[in-house]
Amino acid sequence: MESSRRTVRIGLAGVGVVGQGLVRFLEAQPDFAPAGGRAVITGVSAKDRSRPRQVSLDGFAWFDDPVALALSDDNDVFVELIGGSEGPARLAVEAALGRGKSVITANKALLANHGAELAALAERTGAALLFEAAVMGGTPAVKMLREGLVGDAVTRVAGILNGTCNFILSDMETTERSFADVLADAQAEGFAEADPTTDIGGFDAGHKIALLGALAFGAAPNFAGVEVVGIDQIELLDIRLARDLGFRIKLIAEAYKVGDLASVSVAPALVPLAHPLAQAGGVLNALFIEGQRIGRIFLQGPGAGAGPTAAAVAADIADLMTGAVRPVFQRPARDLTPLQPADPALRRTAVYIRLMVADRPGVIAAVTDALARAGLSIDSFLQRSVQNTGLVPIVLTTQVASEDAIREAVGHIAALDAVVEPPRTIRIANI
Question: Which residues have a catalytic role annotated?
Answer: 208
Cβ atoms 120, 130 nearer than 8 A: no
d(CA 69, CA 71): 5
DSSP class of 191: S
Contacts of 218 (CB under 8 A, 6+ apart): 329, 330, 331, 335, 336
Q: Is the Cα torsion angle 408, 414, 418, 422 positive or negative in sign?
A: positive
Backbone angle region of 202, left / alpha / beta, with phi > 0 → left and psi within -120 to 50 → alpha:
left
d(CA 293, CA 276): 22
3-state secondary structure of 59: coil
3-state secondary structure of 222: coil
Contacts of 248 (CB under 8 A, 6+ apart): 169, 173, 239, 242, 270, 271, 272, 273, 278
DSSP class of 147: I
* Burial of 388 from C-beta contacts in 10 A (0-12 / 13-18 / 19+): exposed
CA separation, residue 161 to residues 35, 41, 43, 265 (Å): 31, 30, 31, 12
d(CA 423, CA 141): 36
Cβ atoms 18, 54 nearer than 8 A: no
Kind of pairing between the strands at 348-358 and 154-160: unpaired
d(CA 337, CA 71): 30
d(CA 407, CA 383): 22
Q: Where are the alpha helices (DSSP H) in 267-324?
A: 276-279, 306-322
